[in-house]
Structure 1
Amino acid sequence: MNGKLLTWRQRGWLWLRLMVRLLLALLAAGLVIWVGRPMLSLLAPFVAALITAAILNPLVRRLQRRLCWSRRALTMVLLVVLFGLLGAGLGFLGYIAGQEIVALAQNRDGLLESLQRMMDQLQSLSDRLWALVPEQLSDPMQEAMTGLLNWLNQTTPALVQRLADYTTNKAMGVPSFCVALVVYVMAAYFLTADYPYLRARAARGMDQGLLAFLGEVRTVALGAFGGYLKAELLLSVGVFFILLGGFVLTRQPYGLLLALGLAVLDFIPIVGAGTVMVPWAVVELITRNFSSAISLMVIWGVIALFRRAMEPKFVGDQTGLSPVLSLLSVYVGMKLGGVLGMILGPVLTLVLLNLAGMGMFRGLRSDLAAAAWDVAAILSRRPEDP
């Protein structure tokens, strides 16, 4: 542009194109928020089944060439084996976790005694700290403590009621979840068995250019999503074994159950195992159980070092995003969409970067550059210029 002013006709078409692009972007965002999310929730079993079919299709095709079986029979055997192994693994972990939960329930009196001792130690520490407070501040602090206790007495029943309602709602949702699981398994079989036919029929009804574009988007999205989940899963598995090894070495009761629960927490972005281990270590330190506090902090330090050292490599290797872009996309996704946004943020970022590399936003970049040059040329004009 070289700082030259556009004609009014050129300027009108430029800003009209930008306005149309902005309106289309807002319309797409509105459709995703107000239509896409409810539809995704409604069709979640079928979406999950379609993703499963897309992932299993190469394996089914390869086995079909080698074994010369019918696709439906091969799909049935493969799904039975996969779901059987998954169910057996989950059942084994559930059995061990159930044993530890039963042992935990049987040791209820001992746990209550430990909790009472901890509360007594906290009360003793509070009394000693209270004795250090000057007399001038004693009355205001006593009033503040009384107000806090009154607030807790008022809000605790409401919190307990909310917790009970939440638990009841989740329990009532178990039959619906079971139905959705059955629908998912059946849909996974039908879609995997008929995947080549369904794909060919969908391709016949599309323009070749649109088909190629959607194929690129699908490849990028599946690669990004699968890579990100694979990276986080590998990190969580590593954290699980670090926790399990640390709890076994320190002879921590219910080590497997604790390691499994903390590893699941660690899989959730931003949350991590430290949200439980650090307060746990602080409580152990306050109650003068120094060896347990030190062991917990050492285990958490090893986990933190492991994640800091391996997370950029795993996420970068699996998704192709730099650590800075990965962190930025996770943070923005958390602000916009919560936990789901944290998971999908890196995926959408990688998809947008690949679409930009394919030239999808080339016209938008040209119009933005032209608009910037036009604004700069207008602002640089002097009053005496014609």
Structure 2
Amino acid sequence: MEDQELSWRERGRLWMRLGIRLLLTLLVLAALALAGPALLSLFMPFVLAFVVAWLLNPLVRGIQRRLGISRKFLSLVLILLILAVAGGVLVAFIWNIAQEIISLYEDWSSISTALQEALSSLDHAFSRFMSLIPADIRTASDAYLESLFTWLQGAVTTALGSSAAYATRIAKQVPSFAVGTVVFLMGSYYLTADYPHIRYLVSKRFTGRSRHFLQEVRQAALSAFGGYVKAEFILSVGVFFILLAGFTIIGQPYTLLLAFLLAIMDFIPIIGAGTVMVPWAVVDLALGNLRESIELMVIWGLIALFRRVGEPKVVGDQTGLPPVVSLISIYVGMQLAGVLGMILGPVVCMVVLNICRLGIFNPVLEDIRLAAADLSAFLKHRPGGDTNSKNV
């Protein structure tokens, strides 16, 4: 269709709409950037309590319909039961990790001796390698290594100081964490017990059309976020059990601790368990521990195979996010918010795409197309343009 030029009144109204939408978008983004993290941190116990209430609501409603028990009593029993089960699992897990840490501390002298022997072997092998290199190159290499060791010494000192300061800050936040935990538990009970009433009070503030729109947005956001987090959690649990079984078979000490830490690393996009296991295997190979190196690489190969086979099925089918878009969202999230942005980047991208599929931005896109067509017609139909074309 040929571009048609708008009247000046229509053009003014069009660009005013676009300008107002752009201004409102910038104001919302600025408000989220400035006040969002502070408000989220302030109301975090209540946000988590609302999530718990939302998750427990179907279970509480089903049991209440079957047994006719009071919702408040049922909510209290379920929260106490979940707290007891979660606390028992957490205590057992912490107990096993604490035992492994104590064992690591008791065996530290033998580990230190083995580490020193390994470093001596590496130093001897490196010295023999350096003896084959010409003197000029060896002198330059020695100077570079000396500067590298000096930098590493300063970096380790700085890291230790930062760790001590961080541990001090964590210790000061223990009372606040305890109070927040109590508030979270109380909020979970109150919100779970009164969830239908609270939902009714909120929903009646909106009309039928806006209520339907918010339900669609909520469904899209929960589908994207829940699908991604659930898929990554399932994959990380699978990686944890692969590591646990592999370390147990090869007789690796501190099995539970290492499997847990590596599974957490595998949950983080881009990093993965291979960030630790591959250098670990290379060091074992350099020290002459060929068997240990092969065992680590076999375990890492099983993890990589599990990820390659399971990830397209578990993540791709649930979210439908193309690989290129996922990579872009991970990189942008990393640049904006570090490791947390790497995790939330694909989630936010999926939420935005699902919301766009609802047609929320259709009026904006129509205005942009109309503005582009008007601008094209305005530039094309210049005064004297037809005369010049006839002369040619």
Residues in 1 aligned to 2:62 and 2:289: alpha-carbon distance in whole angstroms: 58
Partner of 1:147: 147
Residues in 2 aligned to 1:133 and 1:187: alpha-carbon distance in whole angstroms: 69
Shift of 1:379: 5.0
Shift of 1:298: 1.4
Shift of 1:308: 1.6
Aligned residues of 2:224 and 2:354 also touching (Cα < 8 A)? no
Could you tell me which amino acid in structure 2 is paired with residue 145 of structure 1? L
Partner of 2:136: 136
Residues in 2 aligned to 1:328 and 1:9: alpha-carbon distance in whole angstroms: 41
Taking structure 2 as the reference length, the TM-score comes to 0.92
Aligned residues of 1:312 and 1:323 also touching (Cα < 8 A)? no
CA distance 1:52–1:230, shift in 2 (3 Å): same
Residues in 2 aligned to 1:323 and 1:70: alpha-carbon distance in whole angstroms: 49
Could you tell me which amino acid in structure 2 is paired with residue 341 of structure 1? G
Partner of 1:22: 22
SS in 2 for 1:333: helix
Aligned residues of 2:221 and 2:354 also touching (Cα < 8 A)? no
Deviations 1:67-106 (A, max 9, x none): 1000001001111111211111122222222222221111
CA distance 1:147–1:193, shift in 2 (3 Å): same
State the number of aligned residues.
386
Aligned residues of 1:230 and 1:318 also touching (Cα < 8 A)? no
Deviations 1:184-229 (A, max 9, x none): 1111111000111111112233333333222222222223222211
SS in 1 for 2:272: coil
Partner of 2:176: 176
Q: List aligned pairs for 1:122-271, cutoff 5 A.
A: 122-271=122-271
Deviations 1:122-172 (A, max 9, x none): 212321232233222233333323333333444443332112111221232
Residues in 1 aligned to 2:90 and 2:327: alpha-carbon distance in whole angstroms: 31
Partner of 1:88: 88
Deviations 1:253-280 (A, max 9, x none): 1212211111111112222111111111
Could you tell me which amino acid in structure 2 is paired with residue 270 of structure 1? I
Partner of 1:35: 35
Residues in 1 aligned to 2:150 and 2:327: alpha-carbon distance in whole angstroms: 42
Shift of 1:380: 4.6
Aligned residues of 2:240 and 2:263 also touching (Cα < 8 A)? yes
Residues in 2 aligned to 1:97 and 1:351: alpha-carbon distance in whole angstroms: 37
Residues in 1 aligned to 2:130 and 2:380: alpha-carbon distance in whole angstroms: 68
Residues in 2 aligned to 1:324 and 1:189: alpha-carbon distance in whole angstroms: 43
CA distance 1:26–1:153, shift in 2 (3 Å): same
Deviations 1:286-332 (A, max 9, x none): 11111111111111111112112211211133334344444433333
CA distance 1:297–1:353, shift in 2 (3 Å): same
| Runs of 5+ consecutive residues of structure 1 not aligned to the other structure | none
Partner of 1:334: 334
Shift of 1:252: 1.1
Aligned residues of 1:224 and 1:351 also touching (Cα < 8 A)? yes
Taking structure 1 as the reference length, the TM-score comes to 0.93
CA distance 1:128–1:377, shift in 2 (3 Å): farther
Aligned residues of 2:240 and 2:262 also touching (Cα < 8 A)? yes
Partner of 2:389: none
Partner of 1:385: 385
SS in 2 for 1:321: coil
Shift of 1:12: 2.7
Q: List aligned pairs for 1:65-76, cutoff 5 A.
A: 65-76=65-76
CA distance 1:104–1:227, shift in 2 (3 Å): same
Comparing 373-382 with 194-203, which one deviates more in the overlay?
A: 373-382
RMSD: 2.1
Partner of 2:368: 368
Comparing 169-178 with 372-381, which one deviates more in the overlay?
A: 372-381
Partner of 1:99: 99
Shift of 1:58: 1.1
Aligned residues of 2:225 and 2:351 also touching (Cα < 8 A)? no
Residues in 1 aligned to 2:111 and 2:366: alpha-carbon distance in whole angstroms: 67
Partner of 1:316: 316
Aligned residues of 1:6 and 1:374 also touching (Cα < 8 A)? yes
SS in 2 for 1:36: helix
Could you tell me which amino acid in structure 1 is paired with residue 373 of structure 2? W
Aligned residues of 1:228 and 1:347 also touching (Cα < 8 A)? yes
CA distance 1:77–1:293, shift in 2 (3 Å): same
Q: Percent identity?
A: 48
CA distance 1:286–1:180, shift in 2 (3 Å): same
Residues in 1 aligned to 2:172 and 2:130: alpha-carbon distance in whole angstroms: 47
Aligned residues of 2:75 and 2:192 also touching (Cα < 8 A)? yes
Could you tell me which amino acid in structure 2 is paired with residue 218 of structure 1? R
| Runs of 5+ consecutive residues of structure 2 not aligned to the other structure | 387-392
Residues in 2 aligned to 1:367 and 1:128: alpha-carbon distance in whole angstroms: 73
Residues in 1 aligned to 2:281 and 2:203: alpha-carbon distance in whole angstroms: 58
Partner of 2:351: 351
